[in-house]
Structure formats: C-alpha cells, structure tokens
A and B are shown apart, each in its own frame.
Chain A
Amino acid sequence: MMLTKTHKTLRYLVLVIMAIIIIGPFILGFWTSLLPTADIAKGALFSTHISLQNYVDAVQQTAIMRYLLNSFVISLLTMAAQLLFCSLGAYAFVFLSFKGRDFLFYVILATMMLPFEAEVIPNFVTVRQLNLLNHYAVMVIPFLTSAFGIFMLRQSFRQIPPELKEAADVEGLNHWQFYWRVTLPYARISLFTLAAYSFLESWNQYLWPMLTTFSDKFRPVQDGLRQLQSQETFNNWGMIQASAVIVVIPTLIVLFVGQHYFKDGLNEGATK
C-alpha cells in the first residue's frame, strides 16, 4: 500500500502519542525514583538533583530484595509443580483409560469457571488448620496444579499422532517412558506457554499472600510493595518509586527476551 507523505507523518504522530501514553508511567516512575523526595514533595519534577540514593535507601532500609527473592522462589516452585502435575493429569486424560474419565474431565473443565477469589474464605480456614500460614508453602500448595493447565496441555497432547503411540507400544515403552520421552518433548511449546503463564500468575498473586503471610521473611513482592506503600504513605515517594522500578525491571527483561515465544504461544492459544 502506498502512503502519501502527510499520511505517513500522521501515522507516526499517532504512534508516538500512543507510545508516550503507554510508556509515560514507566518514565515518570523511573525519573522520580532518581529525585530527592524533598523535590518530589515540592512538585519540582524538573529538578536536576539526580542520584541513585533512593535505590540505595530502598535496598538498605527495606526488605525489597527479600521480597523479590521470596517471589522468585514461590513462582519457580509453582511453575515447576504445575508443569509436572498438569502434564501428568493431561496425559491421563489423553492416553489412559479409566472409569469416569470424560466425566472427570468435564468436572475439571467446569472448575475453570470458578474464580479463586470466591473461594478464599474456606481456603483460608483450610490452610490455617493445616498450619501453613506465613510460609512459602501456603502460596505454593493451593496452586500445585491448575484446571487451566490440564485443559491446555490435554488439547496439545491430543495433537500427537496416534502412530507415535502405536510405535511406542510396539517398542514396549510403558506410560512413564512415553510420557517422558515422547509426550513432553512433543508438546514443548505448550509447556513453555504454561510455564510463562503459571510463573506470571504466581508472581502477580495479591489477595492470597496478603491474607496468608505476615512477615518479611516470606512476603512476596506484590504484597511487599503494598507494605512499603502503606508504611510510607506519601512520605518517601522517591524510595517507593525506586522500589517499584526494582520490581518491574526483572519482568520487563523476561518479557523482552521471551517476546518471541510469548507471541507464538499466545497466538497458538488464541486463534487455533
């Protein structure tokens, strides 16, 4: 398509305006994280007193690095567990024959409709009785598997050609071997998508850790920022912004590095 010169300029103008709107909050957050809080409080956003002092303060005076570590541990454990248990469950629904299989599958499918948020009351009582409160376990155990993950991997496993299974049967591979040597490698793109999805889901958990963790030792980063924000209300904007920037940088890096995979995986999910 041929674009006239003014047409092209106009298009760039809209692109730039939208880019500024999207990226503006990042830039403002980053910029204010470099300013002394005194200047921010005066509204002097064009201050030239730039330094990394807020970052030093955030790392030294708050538990922000500990929160990040906690979140990494929790999200990695959740991701690994979901990859394992969802793939095992999905395998059963595709390659195993047992009574009530289809019924069970539809029951699991139906639970995808239930928001975890609507079930927090009994779940809170359960983890309190199991003595899991205020520990990594409380943020991992309820999410060891997911109906969504089982569903997605089942769809993907079903694309494995029956001939492969027949050949494996002839070779005498048992289910563990077929699961490990054929099914998982075959469905690696879906597994990668589930890995990214479950990691981000866990990383973004907010309500559940807020209810179940009370100490900096286990508090994940979302809840940690909430803690900083409520303690420091409007007193130390510079340090709060620095903490937010520290938190956002790892996920931005992951996003940009993994963007190709993300795009492929998401499109596979959304359009097939």
Chain B
Amino acid sequence: MQAEVTPAPKPKADQSAAISRQRAKGYNLHAGDKYYAFAFLGPSLLVLGTFVFYPMLRTLYLSLFLTDNVGRPTVFVGLKNYIGLLTSSAYQASLQATAIYVIAVVALTLILGLLLAQLAAKKLAGIQWFRTIFSATMGVSVSVAAIFWLFIFSPSIGLFDQIGSFLHLPIVAWLTQPGPAMTAVVISTVWMNLGFTFLILFGALQMVPQSLYEVSAIEGASESYQFFHVTIPMISPTLFFTSTVTLIGAFKSFGLIDLMTAGGPNNATNLLVYRVYQDAFLSGNYGLASAESVILAVIIALFTLLQFKFLEKRVTY
C-alpha cells in the first residue's frame, strides 16, 4: 500500500575509501556481514519461502494437473485446465462480472473520494467534524460492512425497500436479482473504500501550493477550471496510486461477496476470487482452481507492475 520511493543517497566520490570496504549507497558495508545477514534475513526468507514462493510454484504446477479431492495431482493434462476455463461461458461470465465490478468500484470510489476530499479541503466552520466522518469507514471491517448493508438491502424490512414502498415504487429484490445484486455489492464496496481513499486524497490536496490557486484566480480562472487544470494535474500521482490500490483490492474482494450474495444469484456476482474458493474448497477441483488462481495472479501482477513502473518514473522528476 505504502510506496515510499526516494532516490538513493548518492555515493560521494570518495575514492580513498579502504579497499577492503565496499562503498555502496553511502554506507560502509563489511565483507564479514554475511553471518549477520543470515540472522537478520533468515526468518523472513523462511516464511516467504514457505508461504509465498513455494505455493506460487506449486499453484503453477497443480494448474497443469487433475487432482484428487485432497489436492494431490493425479493426471497431467497440460494446458487443458486453462483452455477449458477460457472457453467456458461460465468463466467468461465471471471475467466479465469481475471487470464490471472492478471498473464500477474504482470509478465510483475515486470520483466520490475526490468529491469528499475537495469538499473537506475548504476552510469552513465545523469542517473538522466532516473530515472525521468522511474517514470513518476506514475503521469498518468487511463483515461489519456486509451486515450493515445486508440489512439496508434486505427485502421489505430494509431501508431501500421501505423508502421504495413509501414512495409507491416497485419493490426491488436487491440481492436475488442479477443486476441489482451487482449494484448492491458495488455500493457496499465503494462505501467501505471511501474512508481510506478520502484520507489519501485529502492529504494530497493539502499539499498543493495555495499560490497556484491564487495566481490562477487573479487570471480569472473559474473554480471548475482550477479543479481540472490545477488540482487534478497536481495530485495525479496520488490519484494514480489510489486507483491502483483500489483496483487491486477490488480484484481480491471476497468477504463482502461471500456474506452478501455468495456469488449469486445465478453467478451474477461470482467474481474470480470467489470462483477459486468455490472450485477448490467446495467442489474439490484443485487443478482447475489452481489455473484460476494463476489467471487471477497474472491479472493482479500486471496492474501492480504498472504501478511500480509509474512510481519509478516519478522518481526521476
């Protein structure tokens, strides 16, 4: 999430340093450090090796096999799991649902987050209260958010249906119809995301030099002109950072889906991660689920790479 990127301290051009010492990144590094390195880095490498590297390779390996019901590979099938997935209409529907969900969540989170940040950046009496409220959903965990929204969307007693019937609108079966169910999980996710997004964007707005606004105001720029030509360009690195974090988070959404719709109705909200869980742990189809994991990992890795590339570029100016 955090990505502090600072240029490395430049090594001074001090050629007279002792030969036995290697001068890198400005610190004296000793040849005898390797025992320390073992002690300092050993625990982390052991944990990452066991729970990150090994499972990554193992998932890749399993994705080429059929497996028994406890996840041991039985028959080598090559790329058949992948081909089967990419040609199945159910998986394509899942990809499509994930794309819709992710795009909607990212777009709404950013737009609303920016609106909140912009509103809270103005100096008005009592603005501190609004800032606190706007960041509040950062303290909400996924189960709590799901329960609050389940009630709001619940049939007939829920808030939306009560308002609807009061206004004599047709009753919407929020969580049992495909379209409304997707809308409901998107709304809930966006709500949950807003606290964090607000805090980050608000912080970025605070750092835009006031003089830029003053100068452009003298030149007669309207508030909306300032927003698009001063604010947005100035905070674009943070906007990009926030959108990547939100995007990756959306690809990994599991808890809300599990609690609110369990992938239904009719697989309308059966997103990629949820499908991995269903195929592996409910159907015992570990080979197929591994192939799904690999596809998911590749998609997320691509977006993360994009973010790294971007941050790298930023350091140079």
Q: Point out residues on A near B: beta carbons under 8 Å.
A: 1, 8, 11-12, 14-15, 18-19, 22-23, 25-26, 28-29, 32, 40-43, 45, 85-86, 88-89, 91-99, 101, 104, 108-109, 111-115, 117-126, 141-142, 144-145, 147-148, 150-152, 155-156, 158-159, 161-162, 165-166, 169, 175, 179, 190, 193, 197, 203-204, 206-207, 210-211, 221-223, 225-226, 229, 234, 237, 240-241, 243-244, 247-248, 251-252, 254-256, 259, 262-263, 265-272
Contact = CB atoms under 8 A, between A and B. Distances in A.
Nearest to B159: A28
Nearest to A101: B37
B199 A98 contact: no
Contact of B293 (A121, A197, A263, A268): A121
Top 5 A-B pairs ranked by shortest CB distance?
A: A269-B2, A97-B29, A267-B203, A255-B139, A122-B55
Nearest to A264: B203
A97 B196 CA distance: 38
Contacts of A8: 124
Contact of A96 (B29, B290, B300): B29
Given A88-B44, A98-B33, A251-B141, A122 B59 contact: yes
Contacts of A29: 144, 147-148, 151
Given A121-B59, A267-B200, A270-B238, A23 B136 contact: yes
Interface string B14-31: 000000001011111111
Interface residues of B, number: 113
Contacts of B277: 120, 207
Contact of A99 (B34, B140, B147): B34
Contacts of B139: 248, 251-252, 254-256
Interface in B26-46: 26-31, 33-34, 36-37, 39-41, 43-45
A166 B151 contact: no
A86 B294 CA distance: 27
A267 B3 CA distance: 10
B119 A270 contact: no
Interface string B117-157: 00110101001001011111111111111111111101011
Contacts of B150: 229
A255 B194 CA distance: 14
15 contacts: A11-B124, A15-B120, A18-B116, A94-B27, A109-B308, A114-B301, A118-B276, A175-B33, A207-B254, A225-B147, A241-B151, A255-B139, A263-B203, A269-B2, A269-B3
Nearest to B260: A229
B152 A25 contact: yes
Q: Is the interface of B mostly helix, strand, loop or mixed?
A: helix
Contact of B148 (A28, A42, A99, A210): A28
Contacts of B237: 271
A96 B33 contact: yes
B305 interface: yes
A55 B158 CA distance: 21
Given A97-B22, A207-B255, A241-B147, A266 B47 contact: no
Contact of A111 (B25, B26, B52): B52
B310 interface: no
Interface in B187-246: 191, 194, 199-200, 203-204, 206-207, 213, 217, 237-238, 241-242
Contact of A234 (B28, B50, B154, B254): B154
A203 B130 CA distance: 26
B54 interface: yes
B280 interface: yes
A40 B157 contact: yes
B65 to A, nearest CB: 12
B136 A120 contact: no
Contacts of A268: 2, 4
Interface centre among A114, A241, A263 (most CB of B within 10 A): A114
Contacts of B59: 118-119, 121-122
Contact of B48 (A12, A108, A125): A108
Contact of A22 (B133, B258, B290, B304): B133
Given A113-B301, A248-B139, A266-B2, A271 B204 contact: yes
A108 B29 CA distance: 21
Nearest to B304: A113
Contact of A121 (B71, B301, B304): B71
B43 A85 contact: yes
Contacts of A267: 200, 203-204, 206-207
A206 B136 contact: no
Nearest to B287: A121
Contacts of B294: 118
A169 B28 contact: yes
A262 B154 CA distance: 34
